[in-house]
Amino acid sequence: SAVSKNPEVPFCSEAYRISAASRGKELRLTLAPLGPGEPQHLVFLFGMSGSFRLCPAAQLPRHAHLRFLTRESPQRALCFLDTRRFGSWRLGDAWQPDRGPCVLSEYQAFRENVLKNLEDKAFDKPICEALVNQKFFNGIGNYLRAEILYRSKIPPFEKARTVLEALKDQEQNPSLTLSKKLKWMQENPDLLELCHTVPMEVISAEKKLFDPADSGNYAALKSWLQCYLVPGMNSLRDHNGRTIWFQGEPGPMAPKGKASPKKRVRPKADPEAPTPKVTSRASKRQPQAAAKPPELGEEEEEEEEEEEEEVAEGPRKGRARRRRKATIAPALPEPEVPLKARRSRRATAGRGRGEAGSP
């Protein structure tokens, strides 16, 4: 598409076949001509919103940044969609060199790559942050790390090296019999094995959890999740600003002052409850307050909370002035009072304060 900043694809063929292979978070497409010509390889990263969709060529969706057309009639298009434009593609068949073995298709190589490099500075960090380092955990993202740590019963902000060295010691301990190893694994789920089995559950589910063409897939994903976005779970922002969901204590390396913002829940009014009588002086100054405000969406509520926080940080005097300006009804014109009565009233007020009244 004209708005995409990704490279042009110098490939031309009247008929070709598309095949795909994946490794971690990368996908490689191969465009193979059915006649003469060399194949073209493209390697994709999906970012946060990238996906592929097959749709009628006459009804292309928005944000279809790369399109492959079929030969059938009516014609269809295989589109790479990316609403937020964080995804990308590059020419060639090479995987990115700084990504480790895939947790799905190269499990043994993935496991060895982690355990033999525990001295790397990446493992000085909390385990929740190490799990999204693609140099060692190629394929693990935000929702997967929450599910993996929840099942392994490991606090997210435990030091990564401490967690993984226990696995290494257990594997290399010759004194453990097979039964003892099995018992140890039952009591201490293998974190690296869960990095393989949990994603496998997602891709092998009977209901495709991430099929963008299926409007009901989100319900299936929610029913599968045990920790991520689940009510009752705790959440914190890690040192990279990404939210981690967990149960129980966060662990010794938890950041300070980075709690995730809580969405405010408005109590629903009881339609059968009697309407209370408003008699306070404040309510008289604010006649509009008795009316029920319209329900806000999540984004509007968050914006309202931010505005309230900004007001709370301001000077108290200014805050009161703004409140009065927003709520006090227009003043009615005062009736004319004779000059003699006004003088008498001022004198009485002065005596009440202990002041000398006017003669």
Kindly give, in sequence order, each residue whose CB lies less than 8 Å from that of residue 62, ignoring residues fewer than 6 positions away: 83
CATH number at 157 reads 1.10.8.50
Q: Mind listing the pLDDT tens digit for each residue in 268-305?
A: 455 455 554 544 444 444 444 333 333 333 333 333 33
Residues 26 and 138 in one domain: no
Q: Is residue 341 one of the residues assigned to a domain?
A: no
Q: What is the model's pLDDT at position 99?
A: 95
127 CB burial (10 A radius; 0-12, 13-18, 19+):
buried
Residues 66 and 40 in one domain: yes
Q: How confident is the model at residue 230 (pLDDT cuts 50, 70, 90)?
A: very high
Of the candidates 130, 140, 136, the residue with the CA atom closest to the CA atom of residue 112: 136
Residues 146 and 74 in one domain: no
Radius of gyration of the chain measured on its C-alpha atoms: 32
Q: Mind listing the pLDDT tens digit for each residue in 23-61?
A: 999 999 999 999 898 999 999 999 888 889 999 999 888
Residues 241 and 153 in one domain: yes
Per DSSP, the residues of 171-213 read: HH-TT--HHHHHHHHHHS--HHHHHHHHHHHHHT-SS-TT-TT
Average pLDDT, the chain: 77
Q: Mind listing the pLDDT tens digit for each residue in 159-186?
A: 999 999 988 876 666 665 656 555 655 5
CATH number at 82 reads 3.20.190.10
Q: How many domains does the chain have?
A: 2
Q: What is the model's pLDDT at position 319?
A: 43
Q: Is residue 253 one of the residues assigned to a domain?
A: no
Q: Is residue 194 one of the residues assigned to a domain?
A: yes
Q: Is residue 314 one of the residues assigned to a domain?
A: no
Q: What is the model's pLDDT at position 169?
A: 73
Residues 165 and 83 in one domain: no
Q: Is residue 159 one of the residues assigned to a domain?
A: yes
Beta strands in the chain (DSSP E): 16-23, 26-33, 40-45, 50-56, 64-69, 76-82, 88-91, 234-237, 243-246
Q: Is residue 178 one of the residues assigned to a domain?
A: yes
Residues 202 and 239 in one domain: yes
Q: Is residue 166 one of the residues assigned to a domain?
A: yes
Q: What is the model's pLDDT at position 356?
A: 42
Q: Is residue 78 one of the residues assigned to a domain?
A: yes
Of the three residues 229, 246, 263, the one that is the final residue of a domain is 246
- The verdict on whether omega for the bond into residue 74 sits within 30 degrees of 0, i.e. cis, is yes
Indicate the range of 48-52, 60-64, 198-202, 340-344 predicted with least confidence. 340-344
pTM of the model: 0.66
* Structural domain containing residue 196: 107-246
> CA 299 to CA 296: how far, in whole Å?
8
